[in-house]
Amino acid sequence: MNAAGPLIGVLALQGDVREHMRSLEAAGARAVSVRSVETLSQVDALVIPGGESTTMSKLAILDGFLEPLREARSAGMPMYGSCAGLIMLADRVTDARPDQETVGGIDVTVRRNAFGRQVDSFEADIDMPSIGPDPFRAVFIRAPRVDEVGPEVEVLARVGDDGTIVAVRQGRLMATAFHPELTGDHRIHQAFVNLVSQSQG
């Protein structure tokens, strides 16, 4: 663990918490699971992992996390969301339950389960110039997709012949439709750690 690196929390409501923590530490950050609002107030940045976005939204509300998460994001805390985390950071979600709420902050419209069910999970090599010239092997599991982006959103990666948007950034917020924490390739976590370090400078 790098004692000099930023302290990045992984929201531990649901999802691949340990895998994200390992990837963050491999990228030079200190990582901690965030299970309380008190811990959230102590971290420099936050990762919202994959999982089931409807359940995650309900748990965030029940555990009193939703408003503190929105306040932290509004105050400028860097956040990165993977899969369901992308949905949680989106301003608009289609095919969602009427009562589903998000943290918001990225001016995108996201469609849940856009690539099909669990059995339709797949891997694909995607080009992501912001992390380097080599393709990134992306793992998609019941993944969402980005249907619309606002003018301040940077598209980081696309997949498929139709150029479906699967990675975005807006200011200090990043999100991917896929699961980089499952690959052993830490470049996306490294990009987020760099973003956090820059925001502290």
**Using CA atoms, how far apart are residues 114 and 117, in angstroms rounded to an integer?**
9
Residues 56 and 84 sit within 8 Å (Cβ to Cβ): yes
In the set 83, 101, 123, 154, the catalytic residue is 83
Told to judge if 25 belongs to the known catalytic residues of this protein, a careful annotator would answer no
Active site residue 186: no
Report the DSSP beta bridge partners of residue 11.
34
Catalytic residue among 20, 179, 186, 189: 179
Kindly name the residue from 20, 25, 181, 186 that is annotated as catalytic: 181
Catalytic residues: 83, 179, 181
